[in-house]
């Protein structure tokens, strides 16, 4: 299993040199800490000179395993379930930009918060149908560019749809695209799943999973709370999973300390 950590590049605010310098210094810091990659949480991927970014990434022999897309909903309000057609189409257009970028960086694209929250002017049923039809459109774009989409179950306090792993797997089966896989986040697993059944269930469904997010039950660095990371990671390890586990935690006291402590903790338990 490979290790990565989530970071942004502030590409909407910074000029090109600043963006690329930020990426270089991340690589420089993370490589000696045994990281294999950096997951990028982006807002406007098209603002980044992707060929230059690739050169840096390759010079460090690091990967960009996945691109986070949640900022599209948080900052612009565009979502896959949006009841206004204009806003829904905008979300799909934005996903296309991520897919084009991901094709160049050999990354996967996350479908998480971009599903959006249900709007009181609309109905849950309608927005869910919108999510499904938007996702089908995104799958076609992903297939045409040979990029994998990662569908992430997210806890009910952050989003209204597809909070659990089993609901999400049913959706994956309904859509039936070999370019649509599952992202399992330990924090959402802790909040949403029944601890009596989840371990065995995940073991049987591990073949759907193409990416992992790691945060402890307090959403801080793995090892600072009570989540059983050894059992969680062993499920995937024993099923032959050779993808990434990405640290996606509250970066306190600092990104540097979270990166360092997470890597040390995971090395100790694995
Ligand atoms: C949000 O809670 C989360 O886990 C992100 O990965 C969603 O894109
Ligand atoms: Mn996550």
Going residue by residue through the chain, which has 270 residues, state the pLDDT in tens, using 9 for 90 and above.
999 999 999 999 999 999 999 999 999 999 999 999 999 999 999 999 999 999 999 999 999 999 999 999 999 999 999 999 999 999 999 999 999 999 999 999 999 999 999 887 888 889 999 999 999 999 999 999 999 999 999 999 999 999 999 999 999 999 999 999 999 999 999 999 998 899 999 999 999 999 999 999 999 999 999 999 999 999 999 999 999 999 999 999 999 999 999 999 999 998
pTM above 0.85, yes or no: yes
Instruction: Name residue, tokens 């009596």.
Output: 196
Which residues, 6 or more positions from 23, have their beta carbon under 8 angstroms from its beta carbon? Answer: 9, 38, 53, 56, 57
Rounded Cα distance, 130 and 8, in Å = 29
Token couple for 56: 């840096």
pLDDT score for 38:
98
pLDDT score for 116:
96
pLDDT score for 72:
97
Distance from the alpha carbon of residue 154 to the mean position of ligand 1, in angstroms: 6
Report whether residue 70 contacts ligand 1, using a CB cutoff of 6 Å. Answer: yes
Question: Residue 6 CA: which ligand 1 atom is closest?
Answer: 6
Yes or no: domain 2-269 corresponds to CATH 3.20.20.150: yes
CA distances from 155 to 137, 164, 189, 190 (A): 24, 7, 8, 9
Distance from the alpha carbon of residue 134 to the mean position of ligand 2, in angstroms: 20
| Dihedral sign for Cα atoms in the order 147, 148, 149, 155 | negative
Asked if 30 contacts 38 with a C-beta cutoff of 8 angstroms, the reply is yes
Distance from the alpha carbon of residue 232 to the mean position of ligand 1, in angstroms: 18
């Amino acid at each position: 299993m490979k290790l990565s950590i989530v970071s942004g590049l502030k590409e909407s605010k910074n000029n090109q040199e600043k963006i690329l310098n930020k990426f270089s210094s991340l690589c420089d810091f993370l490589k000696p800490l045994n990281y294999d990659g950096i997951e990028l949480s982006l807002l406007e991927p098209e603002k980044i000179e992707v060929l230059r970014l690739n050169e840096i990434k390759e010079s460090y022999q690091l990967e960009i395993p996945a691109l986070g897309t949640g900022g599209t909903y948080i900052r612009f309000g565009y979502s896959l379930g949006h009841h206004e057609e204009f806003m829904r189409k905008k979300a799909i257009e934005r996903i296309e930009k991520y897919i084009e970028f991901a094709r160049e960086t050999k990354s996967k694209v996350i479908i998480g918060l971009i599903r959006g929250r249900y709007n009181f002017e609309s109905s849950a049923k309608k927005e869910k149908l919108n999510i499904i039809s938007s996702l089908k459109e995104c799958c076609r774009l992903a297939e045409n560019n040979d990029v994998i989409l990662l569908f992430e179950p997210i806890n009910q306090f952050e989003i209204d749809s597809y909070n659990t792993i089993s609901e999400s797997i049913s959706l994956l089966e309904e859509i039936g695209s070999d370019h649509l896989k599952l992202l399992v986040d330990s924090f959402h697993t802790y909040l949403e799943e029944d601890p009596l059944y989840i371990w065995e269930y995940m073991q049987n469904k591990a073949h759907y999973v193409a990416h992992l997010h790691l945060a402890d039950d307090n959403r801080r660095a793995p090892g600072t709370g009570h989540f059983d990371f050894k059992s969680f990671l062993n499920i995937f390890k024993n099923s032959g999973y050779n993808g990434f586990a990405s640290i996606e935690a509250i970066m306190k006291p600092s990104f540097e300390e979270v990166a360092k402590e997470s890597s040390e903790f995971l090395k100790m338990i694995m």
